[in-house]
Structure 1
Amino acid sequence: MIEVTIIGSGNIAFHLAKAWHKSEKVKLKNVIGRNQKSLDEFKQFANVSSDFSSIGSTAVCLLAVSDEAIGSVSEQIPQGDYLVLHTSGATNLQAISDKHRRGVFYPFQSFSKNSTFKYAEIPLLLEVGTDKDKELLIQLAESFSQNHQFLDSEQRLKLHLAGTFVNNFANHLFQIGFDLCQANKFSVELLKPLIRETADKIMHINPKEAQTGPAKRNDKDTIEKHLALLPEGKSKEIYKLITSSIQDI
């Protein structure tokens, strides 16, 4: 059984703790964090503390902290015989202090605390500093998901970029659509079947093949009508830019 200490009390930490506290392969020893209110939610899973000296003997210290904090937090971890992992898609392995054995354990998913996931289906992107830690990292990965592979920091960053387009940017476009509905006193519920169909469709066909709408069919009259409805500003510029991008494909 692999002993793990999680450092951090955000959404990724919560879901890892939730997955591991009943695991037969992992013993979740501690969750360490600064925010006592957030830590209270972890008491159902493990011992909690704000003291790094409570790490004690553990096989893995997993940093579920912001990208900017990885270096400084890893420096605070007492030197010991454990593998220190971060969970970032956009941060190099080398960000972890070189006084530790280093690795990456990146769940390629957007986590909200109240969301329900089939953890075994979430892609895990792994990296390790030395080959001697590879087997330990694989064992830890398999305790969470069967869908895992090794990518180096450069490859992982490129995949993170792709994920930003399909997740973060898409979500922002949903918000623009919601804002337009609310400004015109339509229920946002009218958009949800369309959002669902859009997401479901690309599970089966390529997005290029699934593309529809006025930009795809070069419907200039409709495009001009839409632009006339949008005030000058970012939403109008986004509409123009995405329309042009669709037409260039």
Structure 2
Amino acid sequence: MAVRVLMSNNVPAGPDEVDDEALVRAYAAEPAADGLWVRVNMVASVDGSAQGTDGVTDSINNASDKRVFDALRSYCDVVVVGAGTARTENYGPAGKPLVVVSRTGEINDRLLAAPRGSVILATVEHAPGLPAAREALGDENVMILGSYSIDFTALRRELAARGWTQILGEGGPHVLRDLLAVGVVDELCLTIVPRVIAGQHLRIVEGQPLDVALDPVLLLEEDGTLIGRWLVKR
């Protein structure tokens, strides 16, 4: 990645070639007090759209964002994503455990057909799709995290209990809002692509208002694409 390092705690600033080793340093994360680190990775246009005109994130991705997306997946122990995003973006197995958050207990057929153990459902006791999910995924691959709504603090504890300490969230916007609201997120990674989308599209965070302070620790630039990291202030 031929970039300008605009700001970094771990990589010298200036024009440089950020190789794989430098990228690892740039995204190095110290565990939080409970031994975990939860980062969420999102992408948006300059005017704040988390979707292209076709309603999917993939249409605003570019090569710079894809390299960081792949790198962050390689660093983590587990990927967490909302069922709506998994469905819209046609998620398949992630090459490591994939936790799908669904209040209804329903996930897309591609994930239901994935090898057993590669997909874990995080849902609630009264989810209408719970019986079918248990049959398809196996009881051991279904987390019950509340009666009617997802307890995201319990989700963090459950991931820790399974030995996953480096956790990568990939949205969607409503899941990110709920994670931020209960203080589960340690870090937000955001790629800003040099495009304006306009129209009625989701932002990276959707739902009831909240105000979460962030501390910037990294900003890279390549061909107009900005790639940053912000730590959540405690």
TM-score (norm 1): 0.27
More helix by share: 1
Higher Cα Rg: structure 1 or 2? 1
Higher relative contact order (CA 8 A, sep 6+): 2
TM-score (norm 2): 0.28
